[in-house]
Structure 1
Amino acid sequence: MRILMLGNSFTFTNDMPQMLADLTGAEVVHHTRGGARLSEQLNPNTKLGERTQAALVEERWDYVVLQEMSHGPITAPNSFFSSVERLCGQIRANGAAPVLFATWAYQKGGAKLAAKGWDYDEMAHALSAVYQRAARENHALLANVGQRFYALANTRDLYAADGVHPSALGSRVAAEAIAAVIRQQKEERL
């Protein structure tokens, strides 16, 4: 099994792709850059986009995981929905299944959340709703990692010191959520 992960630091922090490989037994490749948006993965005029576009045409994948820049789905929803739709089309043309990696709200009470002037519950619910809509509209699998963070945040240390990126445990929670969605889909196919 081969998995391609398209995202940014939320994906590559703590070597989460290796955690996913360990959980699934798959070969996991990631095309990531800090701060990258999904629209960049579509742009063959960027280094990241060139690699991704070639990989979707020249290589075969079983699953392609899509992760948008942290607040992108709620601050630039039109770009997010358009990018997801176009990437899902390319992923299906490749013969793979798209998986949306729904990310989390910034840490409750954290400086980054305060700097944005956002409410934790509102950010968490808005991200979840946008990713759910994108998954539904594109018939994509949904790994709702943000909802797992929301459920566990009061009892587990899921955030790095910056209150934005995942701790090692947060990356593990993300890898487990993605692996569970892939396992469930594989079982349903059988």
Structure 2
Amino acid sequence: MADQLNPKTKMGKRTQEALQNEKWDFVILQEMSNGPITSKASFLENAEKLCEKIRENGAKPVFYATWAYQRGGKKLETFGMDYDEMYQKLYEAYHLAADRNHTLIADVGKKFYELSDKVNLYADDGCHPNEKGSQIAAEIIAEVLMN
């Protein structure tokens, strides 16, 4: 999210211009996969700043709460925490950001957690979603926006 706030980066410049020059109903915010855990203070600070800019645009911010790396996967193993712990820390960080900023939250991570033992939602890398995971994410975001 820090890059989105920095007008000197390519992505930040595009984000800032879009928030200044275009009108949006909603803006979806997602941090890098483990950012809410490894850089929690920065995540919360940048989330607040982005929510302010989004509201200045007249739009509503929505947090896209992501999921833990795949249970038993190599990516999770190298991250140094177990599946339940990573899920809980992501859940807490995203919900804290949403509560502090009075925003909507599309809690895709919770749905992944609920389905983790029943359905494979992960691509081969163990951190990105496969087609089924992407479909679930899209459905949850759409439900939040429509309600």
Q: Normalising to structure 2: TM-score of the pair?
A: 0.99
Mark the runs of 5 or more structure 2 residues left unpaired by the alignment: none
2:125 pairs with one of 162, 165, 171: 162
What residue number does 2:108 align with? Answer: 145
Distance 2:14 2:79 in 1: 33
AA aligned opposite 1:175:
A
SS of match in other structure, 1:40: helix
Q: 1:51 is matched with which residue?
A: 14
| 1:65 aligned partner, one-letter code | I
One of 47, 69, 81 as aligned partner of 1:84: 47
Query: Tell me, which stretches of 5 or more residues in structure 1 are unaligned?
Result: 1-37, 185-190
Structure (1 or 2) with the greater strand fraction:
1
Q: Distance in 1 between matches of 2:72 and 2:120?
A: 13
Q: Does 2:89 align with 1:126?
A: yes
Aligned to 1:103: 66
Report the Cα offset of residue 181 of structure 1: 0.7
| Number of the residue aligned with 1:177 | 140
Instruction: Work out the number of aligned pairs and report it.
Output: 147
Please give the root-mean-square deviation of Cα atoms over the aligned residues, in Å.
0.6
Residues 67-113 of structure 1: CA deviation (Å, up to 9, x unaligned): 00000001001110011000000000100000000000000000010
* CA-CA distance at 1:129 after TM superposition: 0.8
Divergent runs of 4+, >3 A: none
Shift of 1:154: 1.0
Q: Percent identity?
A: 55
For 2:135 and 2:19, how far apart are their aligned partners in 1? Answer: 27
